[in-house]
């Protein structure tokens, strides 16, 4: 079984549209949405959820003001500045700053601080017209998206083993943070979908550095290449310098957006189209 991760470095390059398009040509494949903070592959896959699992992201801390002696030790020791004193309410924990390390709970001699696991996040195994999809939802501001990516990928591998699937295609998150790192770890190949903008060029450089630390096969697709041919040429020069294969260039076309609005892949939306042929080519190259 081989695992391919589609990444972009930045949002808005068309990464998910390309991943979805691959679903129309990839045979015997399990799909996994690794963009757990803002998933959108389900908009096209229209999943029928068969299994729901809770993901415990972090810890929620509370101070019992009746037990608190106002010694202030927890405020001094919290490295994240999450505990502050309020004249009316006493010592309080700011949930947005708290990292859930639970140090304060351990050092409070009054046992005034307690913790509870956050269980508001879920991951799913679903049936779709393209086969199995593993996906997740995280509440805004929740921690540990990298850990949730690991969880959905682990589940995708289990499902792939059970169904004897040959491939897993991961729709990765934007950026180069924890979730992106978690998405690349152990993958056999990475396809970067980029666009000819200055931020696209900048982010492909950052992402290349990241992927290369994992020694993973790397391919690049330039989407909307004709919106700025000068920057597209700069990206191509960079790929030559770095000895990275440019697998495909796709021109800007409104039908890409229209297909997403219609809840279809570009190949479902336009059969026998020039873009569809390009996507088939991408899949054949990556497979080999
Ligand atoms: S360490 Fe405990 S007793 Fe001291 S201020 Fe914090 S919560 Fe209150
Ligand atoms: S759990 Fe850690 S980060 Fe959160 S308030 Fe306590 S010491 Fe600070």
Mean pLDDT of the chain: 94
Query: In the structure, what pLDDT confidence band is assigned to residue 287 with cuts at 50, 70 and 90?
Result: confident
Domain that holds residue 67: 59-117
- Percent of the chain exceeding pLDDT 90 equals 85
* Per-residue model confidence as pLDDT tens digits over 207-217: 999 999 999 99
- Sequence-distant (6+) residues with CB within 8 A of 140 are none
What element of type H or E holds 199? helix 198-212
Q: Within this chain, do residues 217 and 94 fall inside the same structural domain, yes or no? A: no
Calculate the CA 135 to chain-centre distance: 10
Which of these three, 68, 86, 117, is where a domain ends?
Answer: 117
Ligand 1 centroid, distance to 72 Cα (angstroms): 6
* Per-residue model confidence as pLDDT tens digits over 258-275: 999 999 999 999 866 788
Give the pLDDT mean for 217-224. Answer: 96
Q: Within this chain, do residues 145 and 204 fall inside the same structural domain, yes or no? A: yes
Question: Whose C-alpha lies nearest to ligand 2, atom 6?
Answer: 104
Q: What is the CATH number of the domain that holds 219?
A: 3.40.50.300
* Per-residue model confidence as pLDDT tens digits over 67-93: 999 999 999 999 999 999 999 999 999
- Sequence-distant (6+) residues with CB within 8 A of 248 are 221, 222, 278, 281, 282
Quote the number of domains for the chain: 2
Token pair, residue 164, equals 């004897």
Q: Within this chain, do residues 52 and 65 fall inside the same structural domain, yes or no? A: no
The C-alpha atoms of residue 42 and residue 136 are separated, in whole angstroms, by 10
What's the pLDDT score for residue 272? 64
Q: Within this chain, do residues 151 and 178 fall inside the same structural domain, yes or no? A: yes
pLDDT higher than threshold 70 for residue 129: yes
pLDDT higher than threshold 70 for residue 158: yes
pLDDT higher than threshold 70 for residue 197: yes
The C-alpha atoms of residue 121 and residue 125 are separated, in whole angstroms, by 14
| Residue 93 domain-assigned (yes or no) | yes
Q: Within this chain, do residues 110 and 131 fall inside the same structural domain, yes or no? A: no
Give the lowest-confidence range in 24-33, 113-122, 123-132. Answer: 113-122
What's the pLDDT score for residue 276? 85
pLDDT higher than threshold 90 for residue 118: no
Mutational pocket test of ligand 2: of 57, 84, 100, the residue with most ligand atoms within 8 Å of the beta carbon:
100
What's the pLDDT score for residue 57? 82
Which of these three, 88, 117, 146, is where a domain ends?
Answer: 117
| Residue 38 domain-assigned (yes or no) | yes
100 in ligand 2 pocket by Cβ < 6 Å?
Answer: yes
**Total-model pTM:** 0.87
What's the pLDDT score for residue 145? 85
What's the pLDDT score for residue 50? 98
The C-alpha atoms of residue 274 and residue 24 are separated, in whole angstroms, by 15
* Per-residue model confidence as pLDDT tens digits over 138-154: 888 777 788 999 999 99
Q: What is the CATH number of the domain that holds 100?
A: 3.30.70.20
Ligand 1 centroid, distance to 79 Cα (angstroms): 15
Mutational pocket test of ligand 1: of 110, 111, 115, the residue with most ligand atoms within 8 Å of the beta carbon:
110
Mutational pocket test of ligand 1: of 113, 114, 115, the residue with most ligand atoms within 8 Å of the beta carbon:
113
Q: Within this chain, do residues 76 and 24 fall inside the same structural domain, yes or no? A: no
Ligand 2 centroid, distance to 96 Cα (angstroms): 11
């Amino acid at each position: 079984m081989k695992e391919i991760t589609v990444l972009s470095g930045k949002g808005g390059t068309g990464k998910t549209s390309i991943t979805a398009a691959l679903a129309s040509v990839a045979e015997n494949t399990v799909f996994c949405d690794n963009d757990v903070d803002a998933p959108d592959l389900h908009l096209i896959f229209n999943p029928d959820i068969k299994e729901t699992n809770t993901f415990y992201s972090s810890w929620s801390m509370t101070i019992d003001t009746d037990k608190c002696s106002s010694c202030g030790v927890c405020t001094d020791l919290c490295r994240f500045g999450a505990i502050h004193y309020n004249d009316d309410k006493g010592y309080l924990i700011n949930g947005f700053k708290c990292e859930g390390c639970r140090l304060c709970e351990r050092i409070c001699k009054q046992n005034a601080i307690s913790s509870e696991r956050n269980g508001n996040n879920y991951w799913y195994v679903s049936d779709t017209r393209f086969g199995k999809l593993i996906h997740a939802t995280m509440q805004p501001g929740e921690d540990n998206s990298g850990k949730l990516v690991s969880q959905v990928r682990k589940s995708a591998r289990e499902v792939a083993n059970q169904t004897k699937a040959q491939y897993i295609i991961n729709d990765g998150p934007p950026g180069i943070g924890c979730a992106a790192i978690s998405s690349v770890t152990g993958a056999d190949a990475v396809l970067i979908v980029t666009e000819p903008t200055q931020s696209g060029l900048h982010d492909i450089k950052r992402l290349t550095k990241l992927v290369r630390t994992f020694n993973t096969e790397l391919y690049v697709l330039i989407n909307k290449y004709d919106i700025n041919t000068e920057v597209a040429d700069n990206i191509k020069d960079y790929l030559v310098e770095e000895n990275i294969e440019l697998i495909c260039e796709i021109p800007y076309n409104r039908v890409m957006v229209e297909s997403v609005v219609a809840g279809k892949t570009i190949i479902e939306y336009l059969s026998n189209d020039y873009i569809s042929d390009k996507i088939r080519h991408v899949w054949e190259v990556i497979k080999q």
